[in-house]
Amino acid sequence: MKKTTTRLADGRELVHYDARDDAVRDAVDRRPLEPTTTASEIRHDPLLDEWVAVASHRQTRTYHPPADECPLCPSRDGRHSEIPASDYDVVVFENRFPSLTGGPGARTAEDPGGLLAHRPGAGRCEVVCFTPDHDASFADLTPDQARLVLDAWTDRTAELCQLPGVRQVFCFENRGPEIGVTLSHPHGQIYAYPFTTPRTDRMLHSVAAHRGRTGRNLFDDVLAAERADGNRLVITGDHWTAFVPHAAHWPYEVHLYPNRRVPDLLGLDEAARAEFPHIYLELLRRFDRIFGTGEPPTPYIAAWHQAPVGHEHRRDFALHLELFTIRRTSGKLKFLAGSESGMNVFINDVPPEAAAARLREIATPGYDSRHTARPQ
């Protein structure tokens, strides 16, 4: 992998990740852009002990542009986009409309009021363009292309973890207008948060409690229990296991764990990195077949859970990817209504065992049977 770093016309960083070492990336962004103006703030909710980001400048972000005006396509035929090159492999750049923004200079002490604490939303938000093909999706990538994306995620995690004030790095992809995606070009995002996210905090609390009760690691025990039960396994590889969790929140939800626990993407060894593209691409292709032919592409969220930076229990955390769709059946979405949104109590319409059986049933023809799990 070759990495080339440059700047856009308004000063934002852009990084090319190329499969070929001889790739030359010297194109200049010639757009007459003014420096971006952002005003992100985070406010503390004392009842839930959570931080909420307020970013009013995002109201003006690009919204469903026509394909010939896509800002994530390469710059061609006199049309200038966010990528000042006629082609690319994988590109990462600072979001023009970030939810979190600013460096350490933007950090100030919290207001002493206690219950109304707030501070600048210092952090970083990046866009990851998986392919120059506007009409493709991640599932259309080759294993080599998917591996390059994994390497880019890993490199960005390493870079962002070093920024002052960053406490957690989150790589994710939103796919589909039903999710709220406003740019249809295949892409993902990376958030560098100035705090540990509530979801991760809660998992770490459970991990510590389990360690205190049993002396064992909770992530290891959950993975072992799912593999022993077998009914919710979807794909098992030499280095990865994909399963529908016993208490899945979403109609079709899969967790993908490396078989050897590591806290983040940087901890993966070469064997796990080499196997990941084959298993992940197969999962995404199955997701597109869940509801049969003739259906629009399955909307999904793919989220990497990584250990917080410098956390005392980070080595007890297990890197894993969560993949889920908000579609519950053909033509129907799973809405987060009263119980889910009001009380955070999920009600799942699809039994996890049935979801896993469906995902096994629609394996790609010819997919290596050694990696296709069957219930015991």
Provide the CATH number for the domain around residue 100: 3.30.428.10
- Looking at residue 114, its pLDDT comes to 73
- Do 236 and 337 fall into the same domain? yes
Considering 187, 255, 320, 371, which one is annotated as catalytic? 187
Q: Which domain holds residue 92?
A: 2-158+180-187
- Do 135 and 221 fall into the same domain? no
Task: Report CA torsion sign: 226, 231, 235, 237.
Answer: positive
DSSP state of 282: H
Strand (E) positions, the chain? 2-7, 13-18, 41-45, 50-54, 90-94, 118-120, 124-129, 168-175, 187-193, 233-236, 240-243, 252-258, 300-305, 320-325, 327-329, 332-333
Is residue 220 packed enough to be buried (19+ CB in 10 Å), middle (13-18) or exposed (0-12)? middle
- Looking at residue 280, its pLDDT comes to 98
Question: Are residues 18 and 2 in contact, defined by beta-carbon separation less than 8 angstroms?
Answer: yes
- Do 25 and 151 fall into the same domain? yes
- Do 144 and 272 fall into the same domain? no
- Do 340 and 255 fall into the same domain? yes
Q: How far apart are CA 189 and CA 211, in angstroms?
A: 33
Question: Are residues 317 and 203 in contact, defined by beta-carbon separation less than 8 angstroms?
Answer: yes
187: annotated active-site residue? yes
pLDDT along the chain (376 residues), means of 10: 96 96 94 82 93 78 74 92 96 93 53 77 94 97 98 98 95 94 95 96 97 98 98 97 98 98 98 98 97 88 97 93 95 92 94 98 81 44
In a domain, 107, yes or no: yes
In a domain, 75, yes or no: yes
Question: Are residues 313 and 207 in contact, defined by beta-carbon separation less than 8 angstroms?
Answer: yes
- Do 113 and 228 fall into the same domain? no
Tally of domains within the chain = 2
- Do 121 and 31 fall into the same domain? yes
CA angle at 339 for the pair 337 and 343, rounded to the nearest 5°: 120
The pTM of this model reads 0.93
In a domain, 194, yes or no: no
Q: How far apart are CA 17 and CA 317, in angstroms?
A: 28
Q: How far apart are CA 45 and CA 56, in angstroms?
A: 18
- 163 CA to centre of own chain: 19
- Looking at residue 376, its pLDDT comes to 38
- Do 75 and 214 fall into the same domain? no
In a domain, 265, yes or no: yes
